[in-house]
């Protein structure tokens, strides 16, 4: 019986050893299972974060697209307004240029008319002055002639006989 006891004892020892190995296996399995559960939770959290980030990105992309469309519309409105302003400015400039040209022509005509009148008045005055100068020149010759005659008379007169001498 001792062989049987020894054999039985050995078998019990082997079974205990197998049970310890099974316990170690299941301990490791539990640790691995807990780690996998933890990783699974982290993956789920990361997946949720990625989903939220993707939603935010889509929202941002949509907003960017809306802003681009709004900017295009604003740009078109600005271009249209600028073109209208250019046309209006060009028309205003042409009107002003035409009005200025007409005004300048009227002023030039008035100035020329006044200059014509002044020229006529100056010609009349110059004619009068010329006539007066001619009259003065004529008187000068008359007076010179009279002076010459008087001088000749003085030269011909015997003054000593006249004064008593």
- How far from each other are the two terminal CA atoms of the chain, in whole angstroms? 223
Query: For 56-82, how does the pLDDT look when each residue is reduced to its tens digit (9 = 90+)?
Result: 999 999 999 999 999 999 999 999 999
Largest alpha-carbon pair distance within the chain?
223
> What is the pLDDT at residue 99?
84
**Residue 152 predicted with pLDDT over 70:** yes
Per-residue pLDDT averaged across 83-97, rounded? 90
Query: pTM score, two decimals?
Result: 0.40
Q: Per-residue pLDDT for 165 more than 60?
A: no
Q: Map out the domains of the chain as residue ranges.
A: 2-122
**What's the mean pLDDT when you consider all of the chain?**
88
How would residue 156 be classed by pLDDT, with cut points 50, 70 and 90?
confident
């Amino acid at each position: 019986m001792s062989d049987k006891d020894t054999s039985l004892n050995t078998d019990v020892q082997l079974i205990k050893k197998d049970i310890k190995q099974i316990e170690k296996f299941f301990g490791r399995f539990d640790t691995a299972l807990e780690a996998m559960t933890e990783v699974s939770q982290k993956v789920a959290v990361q997946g949720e974060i990625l989903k939220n980030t993707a939603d935010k990105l889509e929202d941002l992309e949509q907003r960017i697209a809306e802003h681009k469309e709004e900017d295009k519309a604003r740009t078109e409105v600005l271009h249209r307004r600028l073109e209208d302003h250019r046309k209006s400015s060009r028309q205003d400039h042409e009107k002003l240029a035409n009005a200025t040209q007409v005004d300048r022509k009227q002023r030039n005509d008035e100035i020329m008319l006044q200059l014509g009148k002044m020229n006529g008045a100056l010609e009349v005055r110059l004619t009068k002055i010329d006539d007066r100068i001619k009259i003065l020149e004529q008187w000068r010759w008359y007076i010179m002639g009279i002076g010459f005659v008087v001088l000749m008379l003085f030269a011909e007169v015997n003054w000593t006989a006249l004064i008593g001498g």
